[in-house]
Structures are given as C-alpha cells and as structure tokens.
C-alpha cells in the first residue's frame, strides 16, 4: 500500500484516488454520534471546569408534586394579578384618569394580556413542556437566542415585581402604624426598607422550603383576598357610616365628577400612558402558571384554561373596584366634618390630605371593615411577591442547565430531594433587595412595565412567526401593541430595554450554544431561504453580483487541508463551496451517512464553511458530470471546479491519468471554470503553530485526531502523530514514514492523541509579507485576477503584496500596452502592488528546458494516435504551444521563484487535440520546482465588473 495515500498533510493527493477504503467498518469501530455527544462534550466541560457545576444535573428536575389547572395555574395567576395595585393604587388611578379612562386602561391591558395568553397557549399546546417557565416555552419555539434573552428579562422583571409588591405591603403597614402613632424609624422610606428586607427574606425561606409549603400558603392568602374584595364591595354599597368618613371623601353620587380625567403632578406630569404604566404590572401575572409548567400534570391544557379564566375573573374584579372607587369617593377632601357641612370639603385642593388623589389607603375607609382590607392588601402583595420569588430561581436553573449563560451555571445547582436551586434564591433575594431599598412603588412600576411589554411582544412574535392553527395576525397585533405602548410610555426606557435585549441576544448568538430544539426561527429561516432561491431563479445574472461558487473535489477533507483552506479563503465572505467525495463502490446507507457526518464535523472543527457531499456507486467521470449538472439549487450552483494536482501522474495507471484530464474537460463542457492547486512536496506536511496565525482550539485538535483515527481504522495502518514538542526544526508536522506505520488490531481504534496546532493557512505558507503573483496570460473573463485579488485581501489583516504579470505583444509599444492594462485594472478597481508586462514568450526555450521536457515524455511515447499517450504527430502538431509553455516556465523561474503563491492561466485540454500525458507534462513543466501554483481557467464569462 502506498504510504502517500494516507499522509496526514498530503495536499497534492489527487481527488480520484480511492481513499474511502478505510470507511468499510467505521461504524463498527467508533460511532460518530458518540464522538460528538461524549468526547466533545467532555472536552468542553474540561475547558469550562471553573464555571461549571461540580455535579451538574443532566436535566432540569422539578417537584414530584404535580398540580392541576386550579391549584397550579388559576390560583397562582389570580394571586399574581390581585397584587399591590388592587388595594393601594386603583383608587389613585381612578383619580388621575377618571372612571372612563380607567376602564379604557384596564381593557387595553386586558386585550394585551388576552392576546399574549392566547399566544402562550398556542405554544404550550405544541409539544411537551418541562421546567423553566416562559424561558423554556420561548426558547423551544423561537430558539436559544430569543428564549434566553426573554427569559433573563422575565426573571429580572419578576424579581423587581417581587420587590414592588413587598414595598406595597410595607406602605400598607406604615399606614396602619401611622394611624396608631407608631413607627420604627421615621414611618417613611426607612421603615419600608427595614420591613421590606425582613419580609423578603422570610418569603424566600418559604419558597425554598418547597412546593408543599408554598401551595398551602397560597391557599390561605387567596381566601383572605377574596374576603377582602367582598368586604370592600359591601362597604361601598352600604355607604359611609359617619360624617368623618364623608369628610374624608367617602361620599356617594360622585360618578359625574370622577368620570373625566384629572391628571396632576405627582413626582412627574401624568398622562394616559404614564398612568397605564403604573397599572400594567397589575396584570402581568398571566405567566404565573407557565412559570411552574414543570410542576403541572397537563401543562398544555392547564395553562390555557387556568390563565384565561384567571384573566376574566381579575379583569372583572379590577373594573368593579375601579367603578366603585369612582362612584363612592371624592378626588379631594379635607377630612374636616365642618367643611363637609358647608360644602367646602374640596376647597383645600390641590393639597388636601384625603381623597382619591391624596390617600393611597382610602379603600380601608370605604370598606365594611378596614382590618379585613389591611389583611387583604397584605395577602395580595405578599402572595404576588411569593409567586414571583418562586419563579425566578426556577428560570435561572433552566438557563443554567441549558448552559446558555455561563455565569448562571453556578446559581443553577440543585439541592435536596426536589432539586431546589438555593443559590438561585440567594441571587433573587439580592436583586429584589436592591429594589426594595428604593422604597418607592411609583418609581418601580413603570420600570418593569417595559420589561414585561418587551417579553410579551416576543411571545406574540413567536406565535406570529410559526402559527399554524392559531390566528397569526392577532399575535402580530399583540406584538405591535406591546412595542407601541413601550415607546409611548417612555421611549428612553424602551430603547434601554431593547438595548439590554439585543445585548443578551448577541451574547448567545456569539457563543452559539450546541442545541437544536426545532425552533420556529429555524423553520422561518428555511421558508425565507426557499423563497429567496425561487426568486433568484427569475433574476438575470449580472457580472456585478458574481460570486465564486466552488465544487471542491477533495474526497475525504482532512487529507487535503490546503485545498479546503484555499476554497474557504475564496468563499468565506458571501459565497459557498461544495466538498465532494466520490466512492466508486457501493456503500451502505449507514456508512455513507457516517462518512458525511465525519466530513461535516471536520469542516466545523476548522470553522470552514461548506457542504460535504458523498456519492457512491459511480465512476469518477460519471460522478463529476452528475455533480456539475445537479449540485446546488437554482442560482446557487458551482461555477468553479477546484481540484488538487495529480502529483503521482507519472506512475499512475493510464486509465487514472485519462480520468483526471477527462474531469477537467467535463467541467469546460459544462461551462464551469477550473482551478487546479499544486503544493510542492516539501509543503505536504502541516506546519506547527506560528506566532503569526491563530491556532485551532484544543477541541478542534481533538476532533482532528479522532477523525483521522476513525477514517483510517480499517486501513490496517496506525497513524503516529507527534505532538508539538516533537515537531521538526522547520516547525512542520513530520510526515508519516514507513517506520511509523504499524499493523492495527482489528476493531481497535488508536487512542486519542494531541495533534500539532497549525496556522489556518499553514499548508500554503501564505502571509502578508510574501508575494502573490498573478500571471494573466489569456482573457478568460478575468477569473485569474479575481481569485488572486480575493486571496490577497482575505487571508490576512494586511493585504498581501499582489503582483500582476501580463503578456505584451511584440507588435505594440511596451509603454502603451502597460498604460492600457493599468487603465483596465483601474476600471475594474483591482488594487495591485506592481504590474509587469512580459516580453519574449515567443522566443525559443533554452536547450536544457527542452531536454527536461523530452525526458518527461519519454515513458509516454507511442507510434500510434492515442488520447492518453503521446505520438510523434501530436508533438509536431503542438510543437509551438509546447515551446510556449517551456518558455513560460523559464519566465516563471525568473520572476516568481520567490513568490508564496503563483496564480497562472490553466492550459486548455481540448478534446481530440491533446493527449492526457502531454497535457499533464505541460502542467508539470509549469509548476515543477516552483512555489505553490494555482492554475485557473475561466469559462470566458466576464467576472470583473466596472
């Protein structure tokens, strides 16, 4: 077996040599899925060892207690919606907006929440739900980027909402203490901070004790709230019991006065949307059931049913409470009974101490029993805070388990029988405590409104993006409403919210988490791709939009890295390449898929964009013709065939030699340009890592080694790859000698070894200080110059020195020809370092060059005409062209022997005109003992636009 066939760094290995024989028992030796899922994951975990949880749970664990739709959705939603606004701010909202606009505010908020609930329900009924709440729902529908961003915003908004409701509890407690002339410090913000911190700590402990404790607490609290609501309704219906109550604003028959808005200054100038921003957090409890979807018996049924019913009950409650406030109380009252008797009760405005505008606790005055209202207020605020505090750690844990944001992995560690995220509770407590210290409910409420609206907008967009049975336009309406309200309330806060969202989104987009949840974004991207492909078919081609699209005949990609590096360099910006691997024998489906997955993983590990294609059961000629005629879709079809130079053509069987040249002829027959890369033997091996080029990660190196081991497992050879410390003096990876090739025991895979880290373009030895020479000899549409220019500008931070050589006809003055060429290159906007007009191409070659040529063709001489061997008649017929190639070799040695890459026009292998052996001799003469050479020949279609 020829050891060249398995050289790790063999850049010149011709495509068509059978290098697929090693794949006969690939799946028997090592499964590729195991390589991806275990080896790579283990390596990533080792790299992130400092950040990861020491004993991570493989999936998000939830409580064994499973809840129905009433206990798991209806009650949590009602507790979340019946919050601080119900008893402490609804009266103030009526005072500012009036009965009419308050109803409009409640209805507008209800419409947004109902649409969002319908969108959420549509998602919930589309697949199995696990723990993680809204994050899990959105991420599995829109993808990790949007899901994680929305999840973080929801977690933050819920943590702040917990602090807002805690502040509401403290305000109510302060009012009670003030009525008895009691205080802790100042009966103001400091008391709120002290009591709020203690209450927050106790609630976190209750949540951390587990679902059983939290559920029993919720049942007790909702009972108190319902009693308090009926207590208030009865109190308003019965009316004031004393003149003092009337003097403090509890006066019936005032609906006409309170119908219209009366916006006043209260820390800021208020309007409809500022009051809306104060109210909206009251109805943000629609996600309470979704937040604990992992603890529900049947989330797909419970979430829609429980959430919609909770919305209907709560909206009705808020409307009733608002109307009763407007009907039963004055906006301003002095509190003096004598003022009531003289009808001057509101003469004190705008500085009255009582009334809807001035007394947040007026509902205690209007209720049948103020004690029950206090109890209901505390129950409402604390229950909402409890629900929020319960959901945030779960969401953090879900993000940590999915390893979306590394910083959250530490806080996601589960403890105890039910996997409680105690560290998540600590983080939630700290965030909520910071906002409790603000001690101003009116400041916090508008802040979280933006985050909730942004999250709801994304939920609606999610459903619009992929709605099947649900009305997508209703979801789009909800999305537009949320964004519009955000901008109207405060465009500054809206922009900040959007900026935070984009930052979180870009972080996940940059990290590229290795997850595939079948998101609607992926489905939408597919639809847009198909639509774009179809539209492009009806658009005529224009030279200005030309892109090099490569079909790279590389076979197994890891044996020709230079070929793929060059292809990637040409196509990495706005184009693509298809890497083809043809096996003349039939392969099993499993073996073929495994080969394809190995190739794709190799490309991914080297961060090279391309599509790997495996064909089996066809000859090289048929395979190439099939790929050239059918590869790609629509306009996205290859227009350049990129192959490696057949360095072993002298010793190759004649049929292989013929097939190689036939491959080039087939490309030209199909109007496809051709590029042939030859890298000298001395550069076959990959260089070691240099300080000038970035090296692959340790994960990529491990994949490199594993793939090589697998693909050569059946070759009865073992590839010994030395480490970086054992690299030769030139910094290159040592080639594989016969002494390093040993028999392999059947079904055994060589153990993983580290591989030398090479520069990205190490095999070609290109850098920004070396010359790239373009020999533009024929007008083939300008592809020679275009590819040279692309390589020069894309490979490095600084453009490579780019020298152009062109022919000057002897019948023209050299200065005139050079001036016209400079004008042409300037017209095509080609920047170059120097332009040299070459003369003397038609001079006879030197005798030693002719002798070298004759020695090359001697083994292929024949007396008869042949399409492979060289006859005397053919030599005589093509003598002038041969001498031109020999003379060109002399010019190449004279001008470009110090270049790092030579791009030269490829001779045309005309059928029935030149034999395969003579054609390969031409290529050998033009590239032997020279730097790397890229032969390029266009299809006479212009690729340079003005």
Q: Averaged over 3-23, what is the pLDDT?
A: 35
pLDDT of residue 33: 31
pLDDT of residue 338: 74
Residues with Cβ within 8 Å of 932's Cβ and at least 6 positions away in sequence, in order, are 562, 677, 678, 679, 680, 683, 764, 765, 900, 901, 902
pLDDT of residue 750: 34
pLDDT of residue 662: 93
Q: Averaged over 294-314, what is the pLDDT?
A: 84
The answer to whether residues 313 and 422 belong to one domain is yes
Q: No. of H helices and E strands in the chain? A: 36, 12
Does 706 score more than 70 pLDDT?
A: no
Does 876 score more than 60 pLDDT?
A: yes
Contact 785, 774 (CB under 8 A): yes
pLDDT band per the 50, 70, 90 thresholds, residue 574: confident
> Which of 738, 761, 784 marks a domain boundary?
761
Phi, psi of 614, rounded to the nearest 5 degrees: -115, 125
Q: Averaged over 53-70, what is the pLDDT?
A: 53
pLDDT of residue 209: 73
924 versus 23: the higher-pLDDT residue is 924
| Residue 152: burial class (beta carbons within 10 Å; 0-12, 13-18, 19+) | buried
Instruction: Dump pLDDT digits (tens) for 781-807.
Output: 888 888 888 888 876 666 788 899 988
Q: Averaged over 213-222, what is the pLDDT?
A: 73
Instruction: Calculate what percentage of the chain has a pLDDT beyond 90.
Output: 22
Residues with Cβ within 8 Å of 604's Cβ and at least 6 positions away in sequence, in order, are none
| Residue 125: burial class (beta carbons within 10 Å; 0-12, 13-18, 19+) | middle
pLDDT of residue 713: 33
Does 725 score more than 50 pLDDT?
A: no
470 versus 116: the higher-pLDDT residue is 116
pLDDT of residue 719: 29
Give the separation between CA 834 and CA 517, rounded to whole angstroms: 53
Give the separation between CA 478 and CA 271, rounded to whole angstroms: 22
The answer to whether residues 757 and 767 belong to one domain is no
Does 758 score more than 50 pLDDT?
A: no
Whether 324 maps to a domain, the answer reads yes
The answer to whether residues 695 and 781 belong to one domain is no
74 versus 726: the higher-pLDDT residue is 74
Give the separation between CA 528 and CA 536, rounded to whole angstroms: 12
How does the average pLDDT of the chain come out, rounded?
77
pLDDT band per the 50, 70, 90 thresholds, residue 435: very high
pLDDT band per the 50, 70, 90 thresholds, residue 714: very low
pLDDT of residue 298: 79
Least confident of 53-57, 189-193, 428-432, 752-756: 752-756
pLDDT of residue 132: 60
What is the three-class DSSP state of 612? strand
The answer to whether residues 789 and 730 belong to one domain is no
Q: Averaged over 25-47, what is the pLDDT?
A: 32
Whether 667 maps to a domain, the answer reads yes
pTM: 0.61
pLDDT of residue 902: 92
Number of domains present in the structure of the chain: 3
| DSSP category for residue 187 | S
Q: Which domain holds residue 688?
A: 8-28+549-761
The answer to whether residues 174 and 230 belong to one domain is yes
Residues with Cβ within 8 Å of 303's Cβ and at least 6 positions away in sequence, in order, are 69, 73, 120, 121, 124, 289, 290, 293, 296
Whether 297 maps to a domain, the answer reads yes
The answer to whether residues 780 and 745 belong to one domain is no
**Averaging pLDDT over each range in 273-277, 396-400, 461-465, 726-730, which range is the top one?**
273-277
Q: Taking the CB of residue 427, how many other CB atoms lie within 10 A of it?
A: 18
| Residue 898: burial class (beta carbons within 10 Å; 0-12, 13-18, 19+) | exposed
pLDDT of residue 65: 62
280 versus 573: the higher-pLDDT residue is 280
pLDDT of residue 215: 63
Picking from 648, 733, 642, the residue whose alpha carbon sits closest to that of residue 682 is: 733
Does 576 score more than 70 pLDDT?
A: yes
The answer to whether residues 725 and 805 belong to one domain is no
Give the separation between CA 805 and CA 836, rounded to whole angstroms: 5
The answer to whether residues 890 and 777 belong to one domain is yes
> Which of 719, 738, 761 marks a domain boundary?
761
Instruction: Dump pLDDT digits (tens) for 845-857.
Output: 999 999 999 999 9
Does 429 score more than 90 pLDDT?
A: yes
Q: Averaged over 123-138, what is the pLDDT?
A: 67
Instruction: Dump pLDDT digits (tens) for 445-466.
Output: 888 888 888 888 888 887 765 4
pLDDT of residue 10: 35
The answer to whether residues 603 and 654 belong to one domain is yes
Contact 944, 828 (CB under 8 A): yes
pLDDT of residue 255: 77
pLDDT of residue 212: 59
Q: Averaged over 305-323, what is the pLDDT?
A: 92
pLDDT band per the 50, 70, 90 thresholds, residue 63: very low
Instruction: Dump pLDDT digits (tens) for 642-675.
Output: 999 988 898 889 999 999 999 999 999 999 999 9
CATH number at residue 507: 1.20.1740.10
Least confident of 23-27, 354-358, 657-661, 868-872: 23-27
Helix, strand, coil fractions of the chain, as percent rounded to 5 = 60, 10, 35
Instruction: Dump pLDDT digits (tens) for 132-173.
Output: 667 777 777 667 787 888 888 888 988 999 999 999 999 999
Instruction: Dump pLDDT digits (tens) for 484-518.
Output: 999 988 888 889 888 988 898 888 888 777 666 65
pLDDT band per the 50, 70, 90 thresholds, residue 1: very low
pLDDT band per the 50, 70, 90 thresholds, residue 764: low
pLDDT of residue 470: 63
Whether 66 maps to a domain, the answer reads no
What is the three-class DSSP state of 129? coil
Instruction: Dump pLDDT digits (tens) for 629-641.
Output: 988 888 888 999 9
Whether 65 maps to a domain, the answer reads no
Contact 448, 480 (CB under 8 A): no
Does 584 score more than 80 pLDDT?
A: yes
643 versus 467: the higher-pLDDT residue is 643
Whether 539 maps to a domain, the answer reads no
Instruction: Dump pLDDT digits (tens) for 615-624.
Output: 998 888 899 9
Least confident of 355-364, 592-601, 708-717: 708-717
pLDDT band per the 50, 70, 90 thresholds, residue 125: low
pLDDT of residue 43: 29
The answer to whether residues 738 and 793 belong to one domain is no
Whether 68 maps to a domain, the answer reads no
Whether 77 maps to a domain, the answer reads no
> Which of 727, 761, 795 marks a domain boundary?
761
Please give, one letter per residue, the 3-state secondary structure of 302-370: HHHHHHHHHHHHHHHHHHHHHHHHHHHCCCCECCCHHHHHCCCCCCCCCCCCECCCCCCCHHHHHCCCH
The answer to whether residues 107 and 172 belong to one domain is yes
The answer to whether residues 753 and 772 belong to one domain is no
Does 703 score more than 60 pLDDT?
A: no
885 versus 28: the higher-pLDDT residue is 885
Does 560 score more than 70 pLDDT?
A: yes
């Amino acid at each position: 077996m020829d050891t060249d066939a398995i050289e790790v760094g063999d850049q010149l290995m011709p495509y068509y040599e059978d290098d697929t024989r090693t794949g006969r028992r690939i799946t028997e030796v090592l499964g590729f899925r195991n390589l991806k899922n275990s080896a790579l994951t283990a390596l990533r975990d080792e790299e992130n060892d400092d950040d990861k949880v020491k004993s991570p749970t493989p999936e998000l664990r939830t409580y064994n207690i499973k809840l129905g739709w009433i206990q798991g959705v209806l009650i949590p939603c009602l507790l979340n919606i019946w919050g601080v606004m119900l008893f402490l701010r609804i009266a103030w909202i009526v005072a500012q907006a009036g009965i009419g606009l308050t109803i409009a505010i409640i209805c507008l908020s209800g419409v947004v929440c109902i649409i969002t609930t319908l969108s959420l329900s549509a998602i919930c009924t589309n697949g199995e739900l696990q723990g993680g709440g809204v994050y899990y729902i959105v991420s599995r529908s829109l993808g990790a980027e949007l899901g994680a961003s929305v999840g973080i915003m929801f977690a933050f908004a819920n943590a702040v909402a917990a602090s807002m409701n805690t502040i509401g509890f403290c305000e109510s407690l302060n009012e009670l203490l003030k009525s008895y002339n009691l205080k802790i410090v100042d009966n103001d913000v400091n008391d709120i901070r002290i009591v709020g911190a203690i209450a927050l700590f106790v609630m976190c402990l209750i949540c951390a004790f587990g679902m059983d404790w939290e559920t029993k607490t919720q049942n007790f609290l909702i009972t108190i709230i319902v009693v308090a609501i009926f207590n208030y309704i009865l109190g308003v219906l019965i009316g004031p019991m004393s003149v003092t109550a009337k003097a403090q604003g509890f006066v019936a028959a005032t609906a006409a006065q309170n119908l219209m808005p009366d916006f006043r200054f209260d820390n800021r100038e208020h309007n409809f949307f500022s009051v809306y921003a104060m109210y909206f957090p009251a109805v943000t409890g629609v996600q309470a059931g979704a937040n604990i979807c992992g603890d529900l018996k049947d989330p797909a049924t419970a979430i829609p049913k429980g959430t919609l019913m909770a919305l209907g009950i709560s909206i009705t409650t808020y409307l009733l409470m608002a109307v009763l406030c407007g009907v039963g109380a004055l906006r301003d009252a002095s509190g003096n009974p004598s003022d009531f008797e003289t009808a001057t009760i509101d003469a004190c405005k705008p500085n009255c101490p009582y009334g809807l505008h001035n007394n947040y606790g007026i509902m205690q005055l209007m209720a049948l029993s103020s004690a029950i209202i206090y109890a209901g207020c505390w129950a409402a605020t604390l229950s909402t805070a409890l629900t929020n505090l319960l959901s945030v750690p779960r969401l953090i844990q879900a993000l940590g388990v999915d390893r979306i944001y590394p910083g959250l992995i530490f806080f996601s560690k589960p403890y105890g029988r039910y996997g409680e995220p105690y560290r998540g509770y600590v983080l939630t407590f700290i965030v909520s405590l910071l906002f409790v210290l603000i001690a101003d409910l009116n400041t916090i409420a508008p802040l979280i409104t933006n985050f909730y609206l942004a999250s709801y907008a994304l939920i609606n967009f999610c459903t619009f993006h992929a709605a099947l049975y649900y009305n997508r336009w209703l979801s789009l309406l909800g999305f537009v409403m949320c964004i519009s309200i955000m901008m109207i309330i405060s465009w500054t806060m809206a922009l900040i919210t959007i900026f935070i969202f984009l930052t979180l989104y870009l972080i996940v987009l940059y990290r590229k988490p290795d997850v595939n949840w079948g998101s609607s974004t992926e489905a939408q991207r597919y639809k847009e791709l198909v639509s774009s492909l179809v539209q492009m078919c009806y658009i005529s081609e224009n030279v200005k939009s030309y892109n090099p699209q490569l079909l790279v005949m590389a076979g197994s990609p890891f044996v020709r890295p230079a070929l793929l590096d060059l292809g990637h360099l040409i196509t990495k910006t706005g184009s693509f390449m298809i890497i083809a691997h043809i096996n003349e024998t039939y392969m099993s489906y499993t073996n073929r898929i495994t080969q394809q997955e190995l190739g794709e993983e190799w490309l991914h590990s080297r961060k090279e964009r391309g599509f790997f294609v495996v064909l089996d059961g066809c000859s090289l000629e048929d395979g190439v013709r099939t790929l050239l005629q059918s590869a790609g879709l629509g306009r996205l079809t290859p227009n350049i065939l990129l192959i490696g130079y057949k360095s072993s053509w002298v010793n190759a069987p004649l049929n292989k030699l013929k097939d190689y040249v036939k491959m080039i002829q087939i490309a030209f027959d199909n109007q496809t340009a051709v590029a042939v890369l030859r890298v000298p033997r001395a550069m076959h091996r990959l260089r070691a890592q240099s300080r000038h080029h970035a090296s692959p990660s340790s994960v990529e190196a491990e994949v490199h080694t594993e793939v090589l081991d697998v693909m050569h497992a059946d070759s009865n050879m073992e590839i010994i790859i030395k480490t970086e410390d054992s690299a030769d003096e030139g910094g290159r990876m040592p080639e594989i000698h016969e002494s390093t090739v040993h028999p392999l025991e059947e079904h055994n895979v060589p153990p993983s070894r580290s591989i030398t880290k090479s520069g990205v373009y190490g095999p070609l030895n290109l850098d920004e200080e070396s010359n790239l020479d373009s020999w533009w000899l024929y007008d083939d549409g300008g592809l020679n110059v275009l590819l040279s220019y692309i390589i020069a500008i894309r490979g490095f931070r600084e453009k490579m020195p780019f020298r152009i050589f062109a022919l000057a006809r002897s019948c023209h003055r050299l200065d005139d020809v050079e001036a016209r060429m400079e004008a042409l290159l300037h017209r095509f906007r080609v920047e170059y370092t120097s332009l040299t007009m070459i003369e003397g191409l038609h001079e006879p070659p030197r005798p030693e060059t002719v002798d070298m040529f004759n020695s090359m063709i001697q083994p292929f001489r024949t007396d008869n005409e042949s399409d492979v061997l060289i006859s005397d008649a053919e030599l005589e017929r093509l003598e002038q062209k041969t001498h031109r190639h020999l003379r060109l070799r002399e010019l190449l040695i004279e001008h470009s022997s110090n270049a790092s890459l030579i791009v030269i026009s490829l001779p045309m292998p005309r059928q029935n005109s030149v034999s395969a052996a003579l054609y390969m001799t031409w290529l050998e003469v033009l590239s032997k003992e020279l730097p790397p050479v890229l032969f390029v020949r266009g299809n006479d279609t212009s690729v340079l636009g003005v």
